[in-house]
Amino acid sequence: MPPLHTDAIVLHVADYLESSRLLRLLTREAGVQSVVARGARSSRQRFGSATDLFAEGAAQLTVKPGRDLHALDRFDVLRARPTIAGRLDRFMAASALAEVVLRLVHDEASAEVFGVVTESLDRLGAAEEGVASVALGGIWRLLAEVGFRPALDACVECHQPVDTSGAVRFDPRSGGVRCGACAPAGTGGRLLPPTALAHLSEWLAGGTPALAVSEERAHQRLLREFLAAHLAESRPLKAWAVWEQGGW
């Protein structure tokens, strides 16, 4: 099999044996892939900053058919993104984003998914204010790209337009808002004020709304519930928990 040449972003790094590193990459051409970078621990020369978290560049992989672990032959870093690790709030938000990518994306090619992730990491690396809003927006757009775009205008049950001038019930399990007729008392989900719905729309359109701290917390909780309803596995999101609890 010829080597695979692809743009790639490092989303997870672990030491492997004495001299190597295991990486999980988001690639443009083949989704998420696990690779071993042989000699990456013993010598910085071969891979340089390529085994640093959130580095992006041009990768060459030797793909082994029928295997889950491939070999990273080379990785020419184009963006190292050191400013993410330079500030803890950026690093925690980027780690939560990376964790969600690794959970949501499989091995399918998607230039759109790759675009959302690279743009979100660039924005996180440059964000002075609104770091949480950048990450929340990136994750909502990622969800939309993989087929879980939340319904914000029409009821998830009866598909009629929903009056969003007042508070609206948002049901993470059903994937969006419910009209008054389809949201009797005791229905699951949360009552969202019009500002919260406006934030969701703005994120999905690529914007970064300014949030109060209490709004950040409410949106992290809402997105966590939405993810829990849509992720195939119920394993806890560890990096997400650290990010949401903010106890660093």
Cβ(144)–Cβ(153) under 8 Å? no
Question: What distance in Å separates the CA atoms of residue 243 and residue 193, rounded to the nearest whole number?
Answer: 24
Cβ(70)–Cβ(61) under 8 Å? yes
Question: What distance in Å separates the CA atoms of residue 248 and residue 88, rounded to the nearest whole number?
Answer: 8
Cβ 157 to Zn ion, closest distance in Å? 4
Q: Residue 15 or residue 163: which is nearer to Zn ion going by CB?
A: 163
Q: Residue 155 or residue 237: which is nearer to Zn ion going by CB?
A: 155
Cβ 177 to Zn ion, closest distance in Å? 9
Listing DSSP states for 66-116 in one string gives: T-SEEEEEEEEEEE--HHHHTSHHHHHHHHHHHHHHHHH--S---HHHHHH
Q: Residue 13 or residue 154: which is nearer to Zn ion going by CB?
A: 154
Cβ 156 to Zn ion, closest distance in Å? 8
Q: Is residue 186 classed as helix, strand or coil in its secondary structure?
A: coil
Residues forming contacts to Zn ion in the complex (CB under 5 A) are 155, 157-158, 179, 182
Cβ 163 to Zn ion, closest distance in Å? 11
Cβ(53)–Cβ(68) under 8 Å? no
Cβ 171 to Zn ion, closest distance in Å? 11
Q: Residue 129 or residue 153: which is nearer to Zn ion going by CB?
A: 153
Cβ 178 to Zn ion, closest distance in Å? 6
Half-sphere exposure of 233 (CA within 13 A, CB side): 10
Q: Residue 178 or residue 219: which is nearer to Zn ion going by CB?
A: 178
Burial class of residue 91, CB neighbours in 10 A (0-12, 13-18, 19+) = buried
Q: Residue 176 or residue 209: which is nearer to Zn ion going by CB?
A: 176
Helix (H) or strand (E) holding 229: helix 213-230
